[in-house]
Chain A
C-alpha cells in the first residue's frame, strides 16, 4: 500500500447525530460523535447498554431502522461520503468496503445455505472472480481463520459448526472482499472465555495482515485492553473520553471512565469493595442538561449542570469534562 493512502484515515465520522422521532418528541441516541480510524488500526467503542455504541456502528453501515435517522454529521469512508448515499449504492459499499461481524454468529449466517455458498455469493457479487476462483479464495480464507479441513468444511451448513467456529466463518465472510473497514459489534460476547481469546487473536491478526481498519464495539473492557489501539468511551450518546488504549485504561481522566474501571473486578486485586458509580445511565427521555453524567458524578460542580462539555485535549487523550477546562483550573 502506498504511503499516501496509508497515512489517510479509512473512516472519518464527524459530528454524527442519530435521532428517533417519537410521539413524545425527538430522542437523540447518538449526539455529536466524531472519530477517525487509520488503516490497520483498531478503535474500540466501549460503553454500557444504551450508550449509543451499536447505533453508531449501525449508522456507519447505513442500516438504521426507521424512524431512526442520521440527523446531522458526515461519515467519510476512504475519502467518499457514505452517509447520504441512496439505498442501492450503499448496498454495493456494504460487504465490499465495509465488513461486519455481529454478536450472534448463528443469526448472521443463513441456516439454509452451506457456508461455501454464502462466501462465494458475497465474493462474486462484489469482486471480479469466477465461481472456481471464488471457491478457492473461500477455502484459503477459511484456512486463514483457523478452520481445520476447509476443503471439506466449506460444503457444510452453519449448524454443523460450533459457536466459535461459526464466528470464525463470520470473520472470513466479513473479510472475503478485502474491505477497508470491519465493524465488529460485540463479536465475542456470546462466546466462552477460552473461545473468546481465540477469536480476538484471529480478528486482530487478519486485520493487521490485510491493513484493515476495525471499529470494535463492546462493553467488555478486557477485550478492549487486549485488542485495541485507541478507545472511545461512550456515555448517553456522547464520547466522554477518547485516546490511546493504555492511557484511557491506566490513566482514566473522565470521572465516568474512572468509575467504570474501578467497578471491574480483577484477579489478583484484593479489594473488599468495588468502586461504585451510583445510579444508572439516564434514559434518552431524561438526559439532564449540562453534562449527562452530572447526577452520578462525584466531582460535579455548578458548570456541569448548565453547560455541556466538549472533547478537549488533555495529555494524550481527549476528554469531555469541565474538570480539565482551563477556566475551571483558573477559578
Chain B
C-alpha cells in the first residue's frame, strides 16, 4: 500500500540512538520589565524549566516523559524539536548536532524527519484550511513531491492510513470530532515521512474510548514504519502502555529513567513511588494507598538540594543541600536520589506486577 521510498529500512547495524539529549537545560527570563526592576529593586527572575536532562532513544522505540504539570516535560519536547533553543546542552539527531546545522537546506532536511503531534486537536489545526491542505502543507513546505496530482494522491493515502476516508480531505476541521481531528494531526505529522515523532499529550483531550483508538493507531504506525516516539504525558497508565523506556521528571530534572517495566514494577525514586501510589486502582484490590503529602514546589524558586525533599518521607540533611547526581543500576535504570545511593531507603512494596492482576 505504500511505495518503497516511504521507508527504507536503515542498513546500518551500528547501534546509534535516533535522538540523544545531553545535559539539556532551558531557562526562561520571567523578570519584570527593566524599569520596574529598577524602581522596585527587584532582581532578575530566571525560571529553570529544564535543567540537565539527558536521555537517548533507540530506533523504533518509545521514550516517555512523565510528571505533573509544570515539571518541564513539554519544554523538553519543544527544545528537541527546535521550537526553543537550549540554554545549555546538545540535541543529537542520528549523531548530528542539531545546533550545528547551519544553513537552511541542511536544517530543513533534518527538520522534516521530525514532526510533532500536539495535545489540543482543536487549536493545532487551522480552522480556515481544508483538511487536505493541512495535510499537504509539510509536503509543499519541504518540497517533497512535485506536481499537484502526486501530492493529492499522497494526501489521500495518508488519510486512509490514519483511518479516515480520502473524501474527508475536502472538509474543514470543525466538521470532525476530537478523535478524528487527532487523526488528521497524525496524518499531517506523517506527511513529511518523519523518522521521529514528538507527541505532547496526544490523548489528554480525548475520551477514553477514543484515546484507545488513537493509542492503537500510533502503535500500529510505529510497527509499520519503524517510527521513534518521544511521548509526553501525565497519565502513568497510558505511559506504561506505550513506552519502552520512561523518564520521570520533577521540577525540571529527570529523577528516574529506565525500562518502563522496571520503573513501574520496581520504582526507586521516592517521587516515582509516590506518583504510582497516587493512581486510582482499577483492579479494586483494596490496596491501601499512602496519602501523598504536600504539593509541587515553585519552579522559579525551587527547594534547595534535591527539589523533592520537602515532600520526601526519606529526606536527610544531605538532600536539603546537595543536588543528587544520577546513579546507574542494572539494566540502564538511572536514579537521582541520595537515599538510594546511600542504600537507606527500604525497597518499595511493588504496587504493580507486570503480567499479574489481569482483569476478570
| A binding-site residues for B, Cβ under 8 Å | 48-49, 162, 164-165, 192-198, 200-201, 219-223, 225-226, 245-246, 249-251, 259-278, 280-281
Contacts and interface: CB of A to CB of B under 8 A. Distances in A.
B241 A265 contact: yes
Contacts of A277: 209, 212-213
A48 B280 contact: no
A239 B275 CA distance: 33
B281 A197 contact: no
Interface stretch (B5-13, B224-232, B340-348, B351-359): B351-359
A269 B284 CA distance: 14
Interface string B208-239: 11111101100100000000000000111110
A219 B207 contact: yes
A192 B234 contact: yes
A68 to B, nearest CB: 22
Contacts of A281: 207
B280 A267 contact: no
A274 B215 contact: yes
B283 to A, nearest CB: 7
Interface of B: 68-69, 177, 179-180, 207-213, 215-216, 219, 234-238, 240-241, 264-265, 274-284, 289, 291-292, 295-296, 352-360
B212 A275 contact: yes
A60 to B, nearest CB: 23
Contacts of A193: 68, 234, 236, 275, 278-279
A267 B264 contact: yes
B73 to A, nearest CB: 12
A224 B37 CA distance: 49
A266 B352 CA distance: 10
Nearest first, the 9 A-B pairs at minimum CB distance are A222-B280, A263-B212, A265-B241, A268-B352, A48-B207, A274-B212, A192-B68, A226-B280, A194-B292
Interface centre among B235, B291, B295, B360 (most CB of A within 10 A): B295
Nearest to B290: A197
A262 B292 CA distance: 28
Given A193-B234, A198-B292, A274-B241, A266 B282 contact: yes
B284 A219 contact: no
Contacts of A221: 208, 282
Given A198-B291, A249-B284, A276-B213, A267 B279 contact: yes
Interface centre among A194, A225, A246, A275 (most CB of B within 10 A): A194
A270 B355 contact: yes
A201 B212 contact: no
Contacts of A222: 279-282
Given A194-B68, A268-B352, A268-B353, A225 B241 contact: no
Contact of A274 (B68, B216, B235, B291): B216
Nearest to A51: B207
Contacts of A245: 284
Given A197-B278, A269-B357, A280 B284 contact: no
B183 to A, nearest CB: 11
A216 B215 CA distance: 28
Interface centre among A192, A225, A251 (most CB of B within 10 A): A192
Contact of A273 (B216, B279, B359): B216
A193 B359 CA distance: 23
Contact of B295 (A162, A226, A276, A278): A162
Contacts of A48: 207-210
Nearest to B207: A48
B87 to A, nearest CB: 26
B210 A267 contact: no
Contacts of B275: 193-194
6 contacts: A192-B234, A196-B280, A198-B291, A225-B281, A245-B284, A276-B216
B211 to A, nearest CB: 7
Given A197-B291, A268-B354, 15 more contacts: A192-B234, A194-B278, A197-B289, A198-B291, A201-B291, A219-B208, A226-B280, A226-B281, A250-B284, A260-B208, A266-B240, A267-B237, A268-B356, A275-B212, A277-B209
Nearest to B352: A268
Interface centre among A48, A164, A251, A280 (most CB of B within 10 A): A280
B278 A196 contact: yes
Contact of A266 (B180, B216, B291, B359): B359
Contacts of B355: 268, 270
Contact of B282 (A197, A249, A259): A249
Contacts of B236: 193, 267
B167 to A, nearest CB: 17
A247 to B, nearest CB: 10
A269 B241 CA distance: 8
B209 A260 contact: yes
B237 A197 contact: no
Contacts of A165: 295
Contacts of B354: 268, 270
Contacts of B356: 268
A267 B283 CA distance: 10
A268 B264 contact: yes
